[in-house]
Chains A and B, each alone.
Chain A
Amino acid sequence: MLMPEVILEIKNIHKKFDDQVVLNGINLDIHEQEVVSIIGSSGSGKTTLLRCLNLLNEPDDGHILFLGEDLMDPKVNLDHLRMRMGMVFQSFNLFNHQTVMDNCIMAPISLLKMKKEEAIQKAQILLEKVGMKRFEQVPVTQLSGGQKQRVAIARALMMNPKIMLFDEPTSALDPEMVGEVLSVIKDLAKEGMTMVIVTHEMDFAKEVSNRIIFMDQGVIAESGTPNELFKNPKEERTKAFLKRYAHERLI
């Protein structure tokens, strides 16, 4: 079988915060159209790993190859590469001084030199897709969490990213809003978007991912298909984590 192209290649990255080792040698390839979910308990380094992928946190050491360029190379145009990586944050981070529409069109107009009419048209299509079209003129501060997160996804998609990074996209949401956001992400997966998702939603990860990464203490403890990892975990710590998770869910 021909493997799809690798679009993100993470080679041996290390990261410390002060003296605390957060990432201790991570190697990971993300292939085109692949959906990879990263799970693990808090403090395992999963969010830091994701934030290292577009250098919001800069690794102390290692290489991150994206579209053939090493993000860790000081000479590389980081802003330019970031335009091709969409990111969705736990706390949405919509631009609070703008409307839904302005949040979507600002970056493509000023960075991709897209014509305003074209940007508006594209935004309308994407907002329709995430079910937010009728809110296009609403200031984002008036939206609920789930609505904000759907707009944040549309905003990231405006840049035609090669890959989407999701940092616990539903962790800050009220339970009844989790579904609307996850269904948007599932739709993206169906369309073949390459995605890396840090999540606590195990059922969602099982359903949407091609591969699950389980992180523990700054390393990838185990990785595999959802079936392998959830049904047949090899590592003791994976088993312990999944057991703890299942237990918590019963309470």
Chain B
Amino acid sequence: MMMILTSIPPKDEFFKTIIYLLDTYGSFFIRGVLITLLLSVVGTVGGFILSLFLTIIRNQDIDYKRDSWFEIAIKKLGIGFTKVYITVFRGTPMIVQAMIFYYGIAPLRLSFWNPLVAGLVVVTLNTTAYIAEVIRSGINGIDKGQMEAARSLGFSKRQSMFKVIFPQAIKNSLPAIGNEFIVNLKDTAVLSVIGVFDLFKATQSATSSNYRPVEGFFIAAVIYLILTFITSKLVDHLEHKKVKVVNVNA
């Protein structure tokens, strides 16, 4: 009996193999899940915050009559930067971004630079670009009378953005931002390419010496599914809350 528990079951024993993997490599899977969650949470929250900065820069109006040439130059530079940023990060695979960042910065021999830090940076920068687009469409969905009313009261363009436009645009964008979190749960698997010990990498490690990838990744699939399922239920709940407000108003 002792022998069966500690040694690997035969190839055709699918479920026994799964139990064996969980029993032997449980700590791998737990650590992998935690890293995947960390990447997704930091990526989505960090991406959300950075995307607000990006949105503010991108939404600046150039007033050729009132701005100095210096202000105009700075604004143009900023707007150009946001456009390039979003195009580049949405237009290239995150796996490629990870390679360039990790190996590009590694030669600087920064003491804090390791695969996990590189992974956190890449997922955050990548998510920033996507959420910036989400917020942009949220802003486009706000009636332009809202901005005009704020300006007519004496709010500056920036004050109007912060006090009137953002609160509404972000509220409308919350479900889509939740979806970005779900995407991150799954897509951070590619960060294993630079050695981040996420759920994908953990599963690879757990199955490399015994060569049982199907059983191992079956476990990973179930865990990913549980994570995304719970999150999508939470997002649905958020969306429902929004719909409910609208119904009360009608």
- Which A residues lie at the B interface, using CB under 8 A? 54, 56, 58, 74, 78-80, 82-83, 85-87, 89, 91-97, 106-107, 110-111, 139, 141-142, 152, 155-156, 159
Q: B163: which A residues are within 8 A, CB to CB?
A: 106, 110
Q: A110: which B residues are within 8 A, CB to CB?
A: 155, 159, 163
B154 within 8 A of A: yes
Q: B237: which A residues are within 8 A, CB to CB?
A: none
Q: B164: which A residues are within 8 A, CB to CB?
A: 95, 97
A119 to B148, CA, bound (A): 22
Q: What is the interface size of chain B, counting residues whose CB is below 8 A from a CB of the partner?
A: 24
Q: Give min CB distance, B142 to chain A, whole Å.
A: 8
Q: B154: which A residues are within 8 A, CB to CB?
A: 79-80, 82-83, 107, 111, 159
B145 within 8 A of A: yes
- B153-A56 in contact (CB<8A): no
Given contacts A97-B171, A141-B249, contact A56 B152 (CB under 8 A): yes
- B66-A74 in contact (CB<8A): yes
Q: B167: which A residues are within 8 A, CB to CB?
A: 97
- A93-B148 in contact (CB<8A): yes
B143 within 8 A of A: yes
B168 within 8 A of A: yes
A156 to B149, CA, bound (A): 9
Interface bits B149-178 vs A (CB < 8 Å: 1, else 0): 111111110010001100110010000000
The residue in B143, B149, B150, B171 that gathers the most chain A C-beta atoms within 10 A of its C-beta is B149
Interface bits B206-250 vs A (CB < 8 Å: 1, else 0): 000000000000000000000000000000000000000110110
Given contacts A85-B152, A91-B143, 5 further A-B pairs with CB under 8 A are A79-B151, A82-B154, A93-B146, A106-B163, A107-B155
Q: Give min CB distance, B7 to chain A, whole Å.
A: 63
A54 to B155, CA, bound (A): 13
Residue ID in chain B nearest A140 by CB atoms: B249
Q: Give min CB distance, B64 to chain A, whole Å.
A: 10
- A83-B153 in contact (CB<8A): yes
A107 to B156, CA, bound (A): 11
Secondary structure type dominating chain B contacts: helix
Q: B109: which A residues are within 8 A, CB to CB?
A: none
- A79-B248 in contact (CB<8A): no
Residue ID in chain B nearest A107 by CB atoms: B153
Residue ID in chain A nearest B246 by CB atoms: A141
- A87-B156 in contact (CB<8A): no
B65 within 8 A of A: yes
Q: B249: which A residues are within 8 A, CB to CB?
A: 139, 141-142
A112 to B250, CA, bound (A): 34
Q: Give min CB distance, A163 to chain B, whole Å.
A: 12
Q: A152: which B residues are within 8 A, CB to CB?
A: 149
A to B CB contacts below 8 Å, 18 in the list: A79-B151, A79-B154, A82-B153, A82-B154, A83-B153, A86-B152, A87-B149, A89-B145, A89-B148, A93-B143, A93-B148, A95-B149, A95-B164, A97-B167, A106-B163, A111-B154, A111-B155, A139-B249
A142 to B250, CA, bound (A): 7
Q: A156: which B residues are within 8 A, CB to CB?
A: 152-153
Tell me which of B145, B156, B246 contacts A93 (CB under 8 A). Answer: B145
Residue ID in chain A nearest B67 by CB atoms: A74
Q: A74: which B residues are within 8 A, CB to CB?
A: 65-66
A214 to B190, CA, bound (A): 68
Q: A58: which B residues are within 8 A, CB to CB?
A: 65
- B168-A111 in contact (CB<8A): no
Residue ID in chain A nearest B66 by CB atoms: A74
Q: Give min CB distance, A162 to chain B, whole Å.
A: 13
Tell me which of A78, A96, A111, A142 contacts B153 (CB under 8 A). Answer: A111
- A96-B168 in contact (CB<8A): yes
Q: B148: which A residues are within 8 A, CB to CB?
A: 56, 89, 93
The residue in B149, B152, B246, B248 that gathers the most chain A C-beta atoms within 10 A of its C-beta is B152
